[in-house]
């Protein structure tokens, strides 16, 4: 046993390896070779970034362009190094006293590698932890200039943006399609500094005063004893809170509607929620609410579908957004303004504009388009961009100011404060994704994670030593100036205005504006959520709240829960419905919609034509075959197999054949030999039945019709024919209305 010899041998081996690595000529050229399954043995230039990805704008920590190349493929250069730049010869073996000996403390690379890994995670956002972002551009129409002097709203002005969508309650690794509110936060990198519009997909909020935010979030988050349930409101603490805190009722109505389970981020509206104060070049003010209107319309999942997706594809929404951008189907939203005169009362048609639990129906104040947002670039690095982006309502530009909405005011504190823990210090605006695209001269110095090397000696004002720089801007230099808003004579109180006490008129307005199918979904959502509560008293109290909204709603939910209708029901208030709140009744573009096509390799008639027509129509065909690989000798390739496909991935399903059970099929429980359906793969039968239950268009031609018959699905939205193109045309027509609404039982008037 001679350890000295062993160490020597290991050293010799290592030296050989280093010589091997250092000596060969380094090609450095971009990798143009075909992909190889072998591990590369020589250093080579970095792979080019994907065309739809690009690193954030490279500007210095003070915002000036550096001229440096974008670091799209950072750290994929030729040699692995330590963080101090020393080249490494081995990263797979720790330095040991002999092959079987103890690890040496001397091993800097081991310690550094593990140390860095140990600290890779930062605290997730306390709310909106799960999110997904993308880059894009906002183009102003110039239509807002009479009310708002912000340069980015000017005609044709292009402003880079970063948008982060999110759920509220779930933690970072939770699923996308839970029932929840969605965040819709936009950072505009304008020429007058960053403007952050940090909104939601629901136009009202749970609370009227920011001091209640910890309460509502503590109630909605999982129970503190067992940390169950994750990412949902279907539990006792949530309903305990909202049933006793009736100002949440309006928001809860939206959550329990189809808005709580969007089909896609691309098909969600966005709302600034609060009323903002706009200022024009003449100094005149107006009150305004911001709206994002998706070009594809507002569409949702159905509850069973949403629940299935959470298991089958928890990344459903982020995948959908990234795929759409990658394929060039850039999602678009039009920014619109509802405008109101800035009167001392700050109300409009009797609606208190400072109350964030109230909307102003679009029929009373139309949404006026002021610009278009297009998301056209995926992130290069999720952590660097989506995780590190820090939005803040105080990031305002000339022309847009706050109001005294007490929720808005509290948020102005929270969004700076939270970053101190999450991004570990006060220099988070130096992180590339947060940097403005204009010069920054903030005179803030030092602090954790300071990236700037500030020159000069006088970071104070007034100074003479640095030539008096930086100077404060004069009016013509377009500084941000707070509106000199006169305040009424007041006393300091912990109270809300009387108008904030009406918690039921608008929830009723929302309910009455829905179609019967949408109402049915609201009833089922309430019944599901309350059905998940254990405490009887909570269910009864929430029924009493619903009785104040609408007697039918209350009675239907009570029926589902098996509880009596409360005797306290108030007399229904008179409200005028707002049809604009319903998601049903129009037709929309079908861009980026996904159509599954079940293919029987033995019978491929029409498949190619149908696939090409779908592509030409801007939709996405997905071929589903019994096994992977090429489909017969058609030249087509299966994108899904009966094992990997599930109905929830498609917006419509076409059947080009009735494939018999594939090699890995497990017979359906009720598929007795000889029974109809036994001849068709049971997973295909299931796919058809699920699409049918979820009111999706189903089309079949030729032999495919036998599969639909085997599934026992007939009636509205099931298109059977002999001509593939005709069947597709009809199915696409159905898709324009999003779902085959007639298929849902309409039991509520």
**Binding annotation for heme:** 125, 164, 213, 411, 415, 422
Bind-site residues? 125, 164, 213, 411, 415, 422
Residue nearest to ligand HDE (CB): 183
User: Which among 535, 531, 138 has a CA at the least distance from the CA of 370?
Assistant: 138
Closest CA to 249 of 514, 257, 362, 537: 257
Q: What is the size of the binding site for ligand HDE (CB under 6 A)?
A: 25
- Shortest reach from residue 94's CB to ligand HDE, in Å: 38
Cα–Cα distances in angstroms (integers) from residue 125 to residues 271, 277, 417, in the given order: 21, 28, 12
Tokens 């029929």 found at: 363
Asked if 257 and 281 count as a contact pair (C-beta separation under 8 A), the reply is no
Q: Per the residue annotation, which of 109, 128, 250, 694 is the catalytic one?
A: 128
Alpha helices, DSSP H, located in 281-352: 303-312, 316-326
Distance CA 701, CA 456 (A): 76
User: Based on CB atoms, which residue is closest to ligand HDE, 414 or 613?
Assistant: 414
Closest CA to 173 of 139, 135, 131, 111: 131
Binding to ligand HDE by CB under 6 A, coded x per residue (else -) over 204-243, reads -x----x--x------------------------------
CA-based angle 518:200:206, to the nearest 5? 75
As beta bridge partners, residue 603 has 600
The rounded distance, in Å, linking the Cα atoms of 110 and 286 is 61
For residue 682, the minimal CB distance to ligand HDE (Å) is: 42
Q: Per rule CB under 6 A, is residue 185 in the interface with ligand HDE?
A: yes
- Distance separating alpha carbons of residues 459 and 479, to the nearest angstrom: 20
Q: Of 275, 301, 573, 490, whose CA–CA distance to 402 is shortest? A: 275
* Interface with ligand HDE, residue 199, by CB under 6 A: yes
- Write down how long the chain is: 749
Task: State the minimum distance, in angstroms, from the CB of residue 482 to ligand HDE.
Answer: 20
Radius of gyration in angstroms for the set of CA atoms belonging to the chain, rounded to a whole number: 30
Query: Which residues, including other chains, have CB under 8 Å from residue 206's CB and lie 6 or more apart?
Result: 212, 216, 242, 245, 247, 248, 251, 252, 357
Nearer of residues 109 and 125 to ligand HDE, judged by Cβ: 125
Q: Parallel, antiparallel, or unpaired: how do β-strands 276-279 and 270-271 relate?
A: unpaired
Site for ligand HDE in 93-152 (CB under 6 A): 125-128, 131
Kindly state the smallest distance separating residue 357's Cβ from ligand HDE, in Å: 10
Nearest to ligand HDE of 275, 582 (CB atom)? 275
Which 393-412 residues touch ligand HDE, going by CB under 6 A? 407, 410-411
Give the CB-side neighbour count of residue 30, counting CA atoms within 13 A.
5
Q: Per CB under 6 A, does 183 bind ligand HDE?
A: yes
Site for ligand HDE in 273-292 (CB under 6 A): 273
Could you tell me which stretch among 193-201, 437-445, 530-538, 702-710 binds ligand HDE (CB under 6 A)? 193-201
Output the smallest distance, CB 234 to ligand HDE, in A. Answer: 21
**Cα–Cα distance between 237 and 220 in angstroms, integer?**
7
The answer to the question of residue 528 lying near ligand HDE (CB under 6 A) is no
C-beta of 317: minimal distance to ligand HDE in Å? 14
Binding mask of the shown chain, residues 3 to 22, with x at each position contacting ligand HDE by CB under 6 A: --------------------
Assess whether the previous peptide bond of 264 is cis (omega < 30° from 0).
Answer: no
- Closer residue to ligand HDE in complex, CB, 164/317: 164
**Which residue from 49, 171, 295, 415 is in contact with ligand HDE, where contact means CB under 6 A?**
415
Within 8 A by CB and 6+ apart from 384, the residues are 56, 431, 432, 433
Q: How many CB atoms lie within 10 A of CB 426?
A: 16
Shortest Å distance, C-beta 185 to ligand HDE: 4
The token duo for 540 is 């009864």
Name which position in 159, 166, 208, 232 contacts ligand HDE (CB under 6 A). 166
For residue 414, state whether it binds ligand HDE (rule: CB under 6 A): yes
Catalytic-residue membership of 31: no
Q: Which one of 109, 164, 277, 377 is in contact with ligand HDE (CB under 6 A)?
A: 164
Shortest separation between residue 335's beta carbon and ligand HDE, angstroms: 15
Choice between 290 and 642, CB closer to ligand HDE:
290
DSSP state of 308: H
Rounded-to-integer distance, Cα 573 and Cα 249, Å = 15
Q: In this complex, which beta carbon is closest to ligand HDE, that of residue 183 or of residue 398?
A: 183
Taking the complex as a whole, how short is the minimal distance between the CB of residue 287 and ligand HDE, in angstroms? 16
Q: Name the residue nearer to ligand HDE (CB basis): 169 or 533.
A: 169
Cβ neighbours of 255 (radius 10 Å): 24
DSSP code per residue over 230-271: -S---SHHHHHHHHH-GGGHHHHHHHHSGGGSBS-GGG--EE
Q: Is 200 in the site for ligand HDE (CB under 6 A)?
A: yes
Q: Give whichever of 79 and 383 is closer to ligand HDE, judged by the CB atom.
A: 383
Token pair for 725: 């193109």
Q: Which C-beta is closer to ligand HDE: that of 121 or that of 445?
A: 121
* Contact between residue 621 and residue 597 where contact means Cβ atoms under 8 Å apart: yes
Q: Which residue has the tokens 């911001």?
A: 290
What is the smallest separation between the CB atom of 418 and ligand HDE, expressed in angstroms? 4
Helices (H) and strands (E) in the chain, counts: 17, 20
Residues 222, 226: Cα–Cα separation, whole Å: 8
Q: Look-up: residue for tokens 């509290």?
A: 410
Nearer to ligand HDE, 231 or 652 (CB): 231
Q: End-to-end CA distance of the chain, in Å?
A: 89
For the bound state, the minimum distance from the C-beta of residue 391 to ligand HDE, rounded and expressed in Å, comes to: 5
Q: Does 257 bind ligand HDE (CB under 6 A)?
A: no
For the bound state, the minimum distance from the C-beta of residue 286 to ligand HDE, rounded and expressed in Å, comes to: 20
Q: Pick between residue 411 and residue 705 the one whose CB is nearest to ligand HDE.
A: 411
Tokens found for residue 382: 């999720």
Q: Taking Cα atoms as reference points, which of 77, 91, 81, 99 lies closest to residue 2?
A: 99
Give CA–CA dist 365/349, Å, rounded: 10
276 or 692: whose CB is closer to ligand HDE?
Answer: 276
Judged by CB under 6 A, the residue of 59, 139, 144, 198 near ligand HDE is: 198
- Active-site residue identified among 109, 135, 194, 200: 200
Reference 263, options 592, 616, 512; nearest CA is: 592
Type and span of the H or E element at 520: helix 516-531
Is 93 annotated as catalytic? no
| Of the residues 58, 418, 450, 505, which one makes contact with ligand HDE according to CB under 6 A | 418
Please state, as a whole number, how many other Cβ atoms lie within 10 Å of the Cβ of residue 384: 17
Q: Which residues are catalytic?
A: 128, 200
Contact residues: ligand HDE, CB under 6 A: 125-128, 131, 164, 166, 183, 185, 198-200, 205, 210, 213, 273, 389-391, 407, 410-411, 414-415, 418
């Amino acid at each position: 046993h001679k350890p000295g010899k062993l160490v020597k041998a290991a050293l010799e081996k290592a030296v050989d390896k280093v010589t091997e690595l250092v000596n060969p000529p380094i090609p450095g050229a971009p990798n143009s070779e075909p992909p190889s399954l072998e591990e590369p043995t020589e250093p080579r230039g970095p792979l080019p970034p994907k065309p739809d990805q690009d690193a954030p704008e490279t500007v210095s920590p003070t915002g000036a362009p550096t001229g440096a190349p974008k670091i799209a493929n950072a750290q994929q250069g030729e040699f692995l190094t330590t963080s101090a730049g020393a080249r490494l010869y081995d990263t797979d073996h720790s330095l040991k006293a002999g092959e079987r000996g103890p690890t040496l403390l001397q091993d800097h690379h081991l310690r550094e590698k593990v140390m860095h890994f140990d600290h890779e995670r930062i605290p997730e956002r306390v709310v909106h932890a799960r999110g997904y972002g993308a880059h894009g551009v906002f183009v102003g129409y110039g239509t807002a200039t009479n009310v708002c002097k912000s340069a980015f709203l000017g005609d044709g002005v292009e402003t880079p943006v970063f948008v982060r969508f999110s759920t509220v309650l779930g933690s970072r690794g939770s699923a996308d399609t839970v029932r929840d509110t969605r965040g819709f936060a936009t950072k505009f990198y304008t020429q007058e500094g960053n403007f952050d519009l940090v909104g939601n997909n629901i136009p009202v909020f749970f609370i009227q005063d920011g001091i209640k935010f910890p309460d509502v979030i503590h109630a909605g988050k999982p129970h503190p004893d067992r940390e169950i349930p994750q990412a949902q409101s279907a539990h006792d603490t949530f309903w305990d809170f909202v049933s006793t805190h009736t100002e949440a009722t309006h928001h809860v109505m939206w959550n329990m509607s189809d808005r709580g389970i969007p089909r896609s981020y691309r098909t969600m509206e966005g709302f600034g929620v609060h009323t903002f104060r706009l200022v024009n070049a003449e100094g005149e003010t107006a009150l305004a609410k911001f709206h994002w209107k998706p070009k594809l319309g507002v569409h949702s999942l159905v509850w069973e579908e949403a629940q299935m997706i959470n298991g089958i594809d928890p990344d459903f929404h982020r995948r959908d957004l990234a795929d759409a951008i990658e394929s060039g189907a850039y999602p678009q939203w039009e920014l619109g303004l509802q405008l109101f005169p800035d009167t001392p009362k700050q109300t409009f048609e009797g609606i208190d504009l400072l109350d964030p639990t109230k909307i102003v129906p679009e029929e009373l104040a139309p949404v006026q388009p002021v610009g278009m947002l297009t998301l056209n670039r995926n992130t290069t690095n999720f952590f660097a961009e989506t995780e590190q982006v820090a939005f803040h309502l105080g990031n305002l530009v000339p022309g847009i100011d706050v109001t005294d909405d007490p929720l808005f005011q509290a948020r102005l504190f929270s969004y700076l404060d939270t970053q101190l823990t999450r991004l570990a210090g006060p220099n988070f605006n130096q992180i590339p994704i947060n940097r403005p695209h204009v010069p920054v001269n903030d005179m803030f110095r030092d602090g954790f994670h300071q990236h700037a090397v500030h020159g000069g000696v006088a970071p104070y004002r007034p100074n003479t030593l640095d030539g008096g720089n930086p100077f404060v801007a004069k009016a013509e230099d377009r500084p941000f100036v707070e509106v000199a808003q006169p305040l009424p004579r007041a006393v300091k109180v912990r109270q809300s205005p009387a108008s904030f006490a009406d918690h039921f008129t608008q929830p009723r307005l929302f309910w009455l504006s829905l179609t019967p199918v949408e109402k049915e979904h609201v009833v089922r959502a309430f019944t599901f959520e309350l059905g998940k509560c254990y405490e009887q008293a909570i269910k009864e109290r929430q029924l009493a709240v619903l009785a104040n909204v609408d007697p039918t709603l209350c009675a239907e939910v009570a029926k589902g829960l098996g509880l009596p209708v409360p005797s306290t029901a108030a007399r229904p208030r008179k409200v005028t419905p707002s049809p604009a709140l319903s998601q049903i009744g129009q037709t929309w573009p079908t861009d980026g919609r996904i159509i599954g096509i079940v293919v029987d390799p033995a019978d491929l008639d029409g498949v190619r034509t149908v696939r090409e027509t779908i592509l030409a129509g801007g939709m996405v065909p997905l071929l589903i075959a019994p096994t992977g690989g090429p489909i017969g000798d058609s030249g087509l390739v299966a994108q899904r197999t009966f094992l990997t496909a599930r109905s929830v991935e498609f917006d419509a399903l076409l059947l080009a054949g009735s494939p018999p059970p594939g090699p890995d099929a497990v017979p359906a429980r009720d598929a007795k030999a000889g029974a109809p359906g036994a001849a068709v793969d049971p997973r295909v039968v299931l796919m058809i039945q699920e699409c049918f239950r979820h009111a999706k268009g189903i089309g079949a031609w030729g032999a495919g019709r036998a599969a639909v018959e085997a599934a026992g699905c007939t009636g509205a939205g099931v298109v059977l024919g002999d001509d593939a193109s005709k069947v597709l045309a009809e199915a696409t027509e159905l898709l324009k209305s999003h779902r085959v609404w007639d298929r849902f039982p309409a039991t509520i008037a």
